[in-house]
Structure 1
Amino acid sequence: MMRTRPPLQGSFGAVASTHWLASSSGMAVLERGGNAADAAAAAGFVLHVVEPHLNGPGGDLPAIVRLPGQEPQVLCGQGVTPGAATIERMRAEGIAHIPGTGLLAAVVPGAVPAWLTLVRDHGTWAPADVLAFAIELAERGHRVLPRVARTIAGRADFFREHWAASAALWADPAPEAWDVVRNPALAETYRRLADAGRGMGREAACDAAISAWSEGFVAEAVDRHGREAAMDSSGDAHQGLLTGDDMAAWRPTWEPSLAMPWRGTTVHKAGAWTQGPALLEALGILEPLLPERADAFDADIVHAAAEAMKLALADRDAWFGDGADISGLLDDAYLAERRALIEQAASLELRPGALRGEPRMPVVGTAGAAPKEAGTGEPTRGDTCHIDVVDKDGMVISATPSGGWLQSSPTIADLGFCLGTRAQMLWLEDGLATSLAPRIRPRTTLSPTMLVDDDGATAALGTPGGDQQDQWQLTMLLGMRVLGLDPQAAIDAPSWHVTHLVSSFEPRVWEPGGLHVESRLGDDVLAELARRGHVLTDAGAWSLGRLSFASHEPDGTIRAASNARDEQGYAALR
């Protein structure tokens, strides 16, 4: 199996992410004596600056963190819905679905408090030091990615007509690829957070920065911002529901991971407020159908993986949500019941299981029933980023920041960023696991992964990609544990994903039998998949996934790998 890059090995530390400036900034932190928590946060703040079309300070963050010798813990930086966010209140706005853009879908912005919580609880640096890299890049400028320029160009006219502050920051004039772009307002926001704790001890400085965000000048600006109506993807202008009181009432939390043994490792995911448990269920369904070892992804492996993932994602859509009881999801009897549904022909039905009695699914149409306005929701490749960090002492972090995309909501001029729109993943129907309610976490697609091998080796991995995140991670795990590939070769191996699921983003539809594939799977494999009834979309030879990986082994060996697709992700290691 070919590799696009060498498998990296070292013993000092590693940072792998979806942008080289984030990876190099995180590695600089390690080189200057910071630990993995400091490095991950510094890289995360840099991603707000250099990938603003994929994440922002107004977005959200789940992370999985393992301290040496301890069980992995999940850091929840997924902010909750406003206290005023009820189904009745939304329906009074005359909408059938929560818009994917604008202000109505805004939730408490959790990414910045979560990064600061990580530094406070497990880091060694002060907020001012961690924020310095992002402040410098926002103030002095950086060369803008072609994809950022294309995103801005696609929304520039809309910004000028409807979102004046977004036009002023991004579109007047709209940058060309590799132009230098600056965001002085964001630099000032981060500088004020850093200054809030100057002269204090490190932990107190982190708390002061969090308070400045959640109860101080940021919350005050967010509160004012939401009172002015903004055009959204419903075609009308609406005010927001998010207030400063909502921000003051919420803080990031730590919680146990959900875990399952599989092929010599234990796979750790966040809970039912994410789609992460679907990866564990898919692995459990799939395992008896897999060969012990294979030389390549043949039609049998791809078919079985696709069908297992369809079943797991149907359970996601029926049962997962904030506070949902999904106990029994990984029980042998339930997995066997789900596995028995897999046949030689591709399923064209949504088939959730009876995990808690009769499943209840949202009412959705099939793809093509509704047009998708440019800039709404999340594209297939994902308005999301990912970071994996390992330090020499064995702290390992997997983090998937997202939300607050520059195209999702109008810019708050004083702050230099916009709010996230994660509430679009909730439904205006009663009785669902993801029905809208006040102060709940929208079920997110963000889904970092951690592996703890039986010998103690620990790995962090993940990818952007919305509904595809756990699917692309599944292909990587199959590459490593079925094909026997090293992490870089597993990232480079041909990938696939199903669209036979209820989309988490506008338009809320599904594609019966949909299977997107990289053509490198081979003509014979694709022909056999089509014969079995999969509705194939050839996504190109190198198109699916933006995975990265970093690991620490008991003997001190550190490994890292990154994705060459889109020529953007890089790993730094020593």
Structure 2
Amino acid sequence: MTTRPELRGTFGAVSSTHWLASAAGMATLEAGGNAFDAAAAAGFVLQVVEPHLNGPAGDVPILFFDAASGRVQVICGQGPMPRAATPAAFRALDLHRIPGSGLLPATVPGAFGAWLKLLEHHGTLRLAQVLRYAVGYAADGYPVLPKAAEAISILAELFRDHWPESGRTYLVDGAPPVAGSRLRNPALADTYRRVLKEAGAAGPGREQQIRAAHQAFYGGFVAEAIDAHLRTDVLDATGRRHRGLLDGDDLAHWEPRTEDTVSRAYRGLEVHKPGPWSQGPVFLQQLALLEGFDLAAMGLDGADHLHTVIECAKLAYADREAWYGDPDFTDVPLDTLLSDAYAADRRRLVGDRASDRLRPGAPDGRAPRLLPPDRPEPPDGPPWQRQVYEGLPTVVPPSVAATEARGDTCCLTVTDRHGNMVAATPSGGWLKSSPVIPGLGFPLGTRGQMAWLEEGHPNSLAPGKRPRTTLSPTLVVREGRARLAFGTPGGDQQDQWTLGFFLAHADFGLDLQQAVETLAFHSEHVPSSFTPRTHRPLAVRIEGRRAAEAAAELARRGHVVVSVPDWSLGKVCAVGAGPDDGLLRAAASPRGGQAYAIAR
């Protein structure tokens, strides 16, 4: 039994981490738009209704299949580090790591430009038609999610005393909003409206107006406000006040790029991910390792199955730590990492016992480079100070910090009757990342925290370089047609939680809704990508339901099993297209009580 059925239709399917975004996506399809228009509409709405997890100045990789060309590509909405961002610049401030909040870790805003890029080259509707839902919710209000209300409550003192523009945006008469109450963001609505006004003044052409909107954001009034904001001193995760390294010129010289994806075959399916500027290839490396095991014979969620998947995840993620980075700046040996021969060699490391060692491989005989994980002491002070010290978007009350999974973001997937398909994971620019920019209604993203200050590593900091992101949507093709698109919130865990979903569907034959509701688990073996880069080498978090016998066997094999509340790990969202019946499918995880799928 599942909490809801797999939804099926013939017109379109949408699934996202918020019901209002899913509704906006379907409304856009019904207004005559295609999957690309619908995905952008949903993405803009997520910027409004999930402010604790993403915003216009955040990041997004957008995977898409264009039925007209038959190609899968990815728009990189991960903005680079500023030109002034060097290891020396941080050391001059007596910093040995990039802080997780404030202005110093800010990258060029990527999300807004990436959605515009998708619309310009693949959409059919005008920007005003696509952006109207986000404008409406920002101006007229939206119901505050319980998690957002909780986060604002914990951070309220910070907002009142140190980040006053955040207080004006998120507090209501100086107090946190009540969960479910109606919250408005008039400054953000005005920002969207001014972008649309300047776009409309540029001329009648659809693409012409979208280019003008990009200019308004990256070379006009938005960039000017960001530039001025970054010249002020702001309290950040260090407990001190710093101004930013980003400036208006960094925005003016940036354009989102459309790139080829990285792909690998698995059981007759062609699985596509973003490149190694994300952690996406780690999903493909896991598939390469697992292809050598008879998972179906092990039984879904049995001890053998869980142990094998966990140990393969450790090996793939270890390679992420040693080898992944912006390929514009570093030579990532991706062909070898994804090769059958390399997978066969690495597969031999999977034994009957849990490994406590971080074991990256040596592709092409090259020696891996690992950096020691941080061992920082958490700061003393009010509760909000610990929250901004940790770079994750999640704000967790101290009473549940030991059991709740860290790392959250947003996800959306869309397909239409024409065969187009989109998967995206918007994130960054969340409410605890940095203070809201005066007059704009949103904060900057802080993805720079993921880069290392030590030089010589693939993910070392450099001016204009993209920090390796955890954002990792997936799109699957079979026989030249898009068959499946999916993703989940979850930081480093994204490519473990979505892997569980995918294996349940591809290896065990579950439908999409059954697959998103299977047991969720993940290893904490590899250091987190977020400051302060914590890890527990043998720890495995697993939902308690249906797992008692398997958990006992995992413990016997050396895993440190941490049982977490049922329905607490991830929010997988998925859409698909049937190979035989022509039906479109949609599913959304019940975890968190907010993800929603629509099909008609």
What TM-score do the two structures reach when normalised by structure 1? 0.97
* Distance apart, 1:381 and its partner CA: 4.6
Deviations 1:115-139 (A, max 9, x none): 0110110001111111110001000
The answer for the alignment partner of 1:27 in structure 2 is: 26
Aligned ranges 1:31-42 → 2 under 5 Å:
31-42=30-41
> 2:70, 2:480 within 8 Å by CA — same for their partners in 1?
no
Residue equivalent to 2:54: 55
CA distance in 1, matches of 2:407, 2:270: 26
- Is the CA contact 2:65–2:482 (under 8 Å) kept in the aligned structure 1? no
Please name the residue that 2:325 is paired with: 321
Specify which of 469, 474, 477 is matched with residue 449 of structure 1. Answer: 474
Q: Which amino acid aligns with 1:251?
A: E
Q: Is the 8 A contact 1:293 1:482 kept in 2?
A: no
Cα distance change, pair 222–455 in 1 and its aligned pair in 2 (3 A): closer
* 1:341 maps to 2:355: no
Residue 277 of structure 2 is aligned to residue 300 of structure 1: no
- Give CA-to-partner distance per residue, 1:368-410, whole Å, 9 cap, x none: 9656921431144533100000011011000110000011101
Residue in 2 that maps onto 1:174: 176
Q: 2 CA distance for matches of 1:37 and 1:194?
A: 19
Alignment of 1:55-454 (within 5 A): 55-68=54-67, 70-171=70-171, 172-198=174-200, 199-293=203-297, 295-323=299-327, 324=330, 325=332, 326-355=334-363, 357-365=366-374, 370=378, 373-375=386-388, 376-378=390-392, 379=394, 380-454=405-479
**Amino acid across the alignment from 2:312:** A
Partner of 2:568: 543
Deviation per CA, 1:543-563: give whole Å up to 9, x if none: 111001011235531000001
Q: Could you tell me how far 1:294 is from its partner in structure 2?
A: 5.4
The AA in structure 2 aligned to 1:570 is Y
User: Which amino acid letter does the alignment assign opposite residue 505 of structure 1?
Assistant: F
- Assess if the C-alpha contact under 8 Å between 2:70 and 2:481 holds in 1: no
| Partner in structure 1 of residue 382 of structure 2 | none
Aligned-residue identity in percent: 50
Cα distance in 1 for partners of 2:530, 2:166 equals: 22
Which residue of 2 is the match for residue 562 of structure 1?
Answer: 588
Say which SS state the counterpart of residue 119 (structure 2) adopts. helix
Q: Partner amino acid for 1:50?
A: V
Contact 2:298–2:304 (CA<8 Å) still a contact in 1? no
How much is the aligned-residue C-alpha RMSD, in angstroms?
Answer: 1.4
Residue identity matched to 1:421: T
* 1:311-340 Cα distance to aligned partner (Å, 9 max, x none): 111100110000142231111121112111
Change (3 A) 1:60 1:25: same
> The residue matched to 2:295 in structure 1 has which SS?
coil
Alpha-carbon distance in structure 1 between the residues aligned to 2:261 and 2:406 = 26
> Cα deviations across residues 103-126 of structure 1 (Å, max 9, x unaligned)?
000000010011011011000111
**Alpha-carbon separation, structure 2, partners of 1:161 and 1:314:** 41
Instruction: Give the drift of 1:200.
Output: 2.2
Q: Which moved more, 1:16-25 or 1:532-541?
A: 532-541
Asked if 2 retains the 8 angstrom alpha-carbon contact of 1:365 and 1:510, the reply is no
| In structure 2, distance between residues paired with 1:142 and 1:401 | 19
**Residues 456, 553 of structure 1: 8 Å contact kept:** no
Say which SS state the counterpart of residue 509 (structure 1) adopts: coil
Q: Flag the 1:459–1:307 CA change in 2: closer, same or farther, 3 A.
A: same
Q: Quick one: structure 1 residues 521 and 318, their matched pair in 2 at CA, closer, same or farther if it must change by over 3 Å? A: farther
Conserved in 1, the CA contact under 8 Å of 2:289 and 2:312?
A: yes
Cα distance between partner residues in 2 of 1:14 and 1:293: 33
- Equivalent residue of 2:431, what SS? coil
Is contact 2:412–2:423 with CA below 8 Å preserved after alignment? yes
Quick one: which amino acid aligns to residue 129 of structure 2?
D
Q: What amino acid is the match of 2:372?
A: V
Residue 461 (structure 1) aligned with residue 475 (structure 2): no
Matched-pair contact (CA < 8 Å) for 2:378–2:386 = no
Tell me the alpha carbon deviations over residues 194-250 of structure 1, each in whole angstroms, 9 at most, x when there is no partner: 112214210001000001011000100000000001111111111100100000111
Amino acid at match of 2:115: W
Q: What's the counterpart of residue 10 of structure 2?
A: 11
Is 1:96–1:428's contact at 8 Å kept on the other side of the alignment?
yes
8 Å contact kept, 1:293–1:483: no
Q: In 2, distance between residues paired with 1:439 and 1:471? A: 30
The total of aligned residue pairs comes to 572
Q: For 2:137, what is the secondary structure of its paired residue?
A: helix
Q: Distance in 1 between matches of 2:258 and 2:484?
A: 20
Alpha-carbon distance between aligned partners in 2 of 1:128 and 1:312, rounded to the nearest angstrom: 43
Per-residue CA distance 1:499-555 (angstroms, 9 max, x = gap):
101110121122111110011242110000011111111112211110010112355
Code of the residue aligned with 2:338 in structure 1: it is L
**3-state SS of 1:49 partner:** helix
Q: Distance in 1 between matches of 2:506 and 2:110?
A: 35
What's the CA shift for 1:449? 0.2
User: What TM-score does the superposition give when structure 2 sets the normalisation length?
Assistant: 0.93
Inter-partner Cα distance in structure 1 for 2:459 and 2:109: 19
Q: Please state whether the residue corresponding to 2:522 is helix, strand or coil.
A: strand
Contact 1:269 1:448 in 2 (8 A): yes
Unpaired segments ≥5 residues, structure 1: none
Q: Distance in 1 between matches of 2:161 and 2:459?
A: 34
Code of the residue aligned with 1:568 in structure 2: it is Q
Contact 1:403 1:421 in 2 (8 A): yes
What amino acid is aligned across from residue 63 of structure 2 in structure 1? Answer: I
Give the secondary structure class of the aligned counterpart of 1:272.
coil
Secondary structure of residue in 1 paired with 2:526: coil
Secondary structure of the residue aligned to 1:72 is strand
Letter in 2 for 1:190: Y
CA–CA separation in structure 2 for the residues paired with 1:459 and 1:57 = 27
